[in-house]
Amino acid sequence: MHLHKYEKKWLIFGISSLVVFLIILGFGAFWQGTHPQSHGVTIDPENVEANEAFRPENLGITKIDDNKYIVNIVASAFNYDFGTDENGAPLKHIRIPKGATVLFQITTKDVVHGFNIAGTNVNMMVEPGYVSSIETVMDRTGEYTVVCNEYCGVGHHLMFATVEVYD
């Protein structure tokens, strides 16, 4: 098959750029650990409390070490359960100090949901039977909107919370 001289150059240039690009992606993924979240832990969606992280008392934010936090959440149509405050009212707002390392763990009791802290890379699908988790460093202050970004039913757009990163 005949390739035009310029087409050869074009393809060599294109394919080399592609190779470089893929090497960068691979380097990030395998050496720097930036794989997208792919947690393999399973859970019974009808009995999420069987996993300690999702017992009512463990929901919401917990400090586990200096500057280290865990946030556990149970999603259901159309709500994120971050636990309750001292008065027993449901929490819809959590506060995280700037620079803290935070592990978000979330599962769903019913249908598929999304969990996106808008404007950050914390963006996960939440599927029945699985725990989704991602660890991140929150290093910009401000108020972030948590949105469900996978369609879960008629109240999908009413499923949200807020995360505040403070100095």
Partner 1 sequence: MGLEKIKKVSNNEILPLTISKQESRLYMSFIYVAIISLLIGGLMGLLQTLVRSNTITLPWGIGYYQILTLHGVVLALVLTTYFIIGFQFALMGKTVGISLKQRKVAWLSFWVMIVGTVMAAITILMGKASVLYTFYAPLKAHPVFYIGLALVIVGSWIAGFVNWHQLFVWKKKHPGEKSPLLAFMVAINMAMWFIASLGVAVAVLVQFIPWSLGYAETINVLVSRTLFWYFGHPLVYFWLLPAYMAWYAIIPKIIGGKIFSDSLARLSFILFLFFSIPVGFHHQLTEPGIDPVWKFIQVVLTFMVIIPSLMTAFSMFATFEITGRRKGFGGLFGWLKHLPWKDVRFLAPFIGMLAFIPGGAGGIINASHQMNAVVHNTIWVTGHFHLTVATTVILTFFGISYWLIPHLTGRKLTPQLNRLGIIQTIVWTVGMTIMSGAMHIQGLLGGPRRSAFSEYGGTEQASNWIGYQVAQAIGGSILFIGIILMLYIFIKLAFFAPKGIEEFPIAEEEEDAEPTPMFLENWKLWIAITLALILFAYTIPFVDIIQNSPPGSPPFSWPIGN
Contacts of 89 (CB under 8 A, 6+ apart): none
Please give the residues from 130 up to 149 whose contact with partner 1 meets the rule CB under 8 A: 130-132, 143-145, 147-149
Kindly indicate which of the ranges 37-45, 62-70, 82-90, 94-102 contains the residues binding partner 1, using the contact rule CB under 8 A.
37-45
Report CA-CA distances (Å) from 31 to 23, 24, 26, 102.
11, 10, 8, 21
Please give the residues from 84 up to 113 whose contact with Cu ion meets the rule CB under 5 A: 113
Cβ proximity to Cu ion, 62 vs 149, nearer residue: 149
Kindly indicate which of the ranges 51-59, 67-75, 82-90, 157-165 contains the residues binding partner 1, using the contact rule CB under 8 A.
157-165
When binding is defined by CB under 8 A, the residue of 54, 78, 80, 104 that contacts partner 1 is 78
Please give the residues from 38 up to 57 whose contact with partner 1 meets the rule CB under 8 A: 38-46
Closest CA to 80 of 166, 164, 149, 134: 149
Please give the residues from 92 up to 121 whose contact with partner 1 meets the rule CB under 8 A: 92, 110-112, 114, 116, 118-121
How are beta strands 68-76 and 101-108 bridged, if at all?
parallel
Question: Min. distance of Cβ 113 from Cu ion in angstroms?
Answer: 5
Cβ proximity to partner 1, 91 vs 125, nearer residue: 125
Question: Min. distance of Cβ 63 from partner 1 in angstroms?
Answer: 25
List the beta strands (DSSP E) in the chain. 60-65, 68-76, 79-81, 93-97, 101-108, 113-117, 123-126, 132-137, 142-147, 160-166
When binding is defined by CB under 5 A, the residue of 84, 125, 156, 160 that contacts Cu ion is 156
Give the integer Cα–Cα distance in Å for 73 and 88.
16
Report CA-CA distances (Å) from 5 to 10, 19, 63.
9, 21, 63
Where on the chain is the footprint of Cu ion (CB under 5 A)? 113, 148, 152, 156, 159
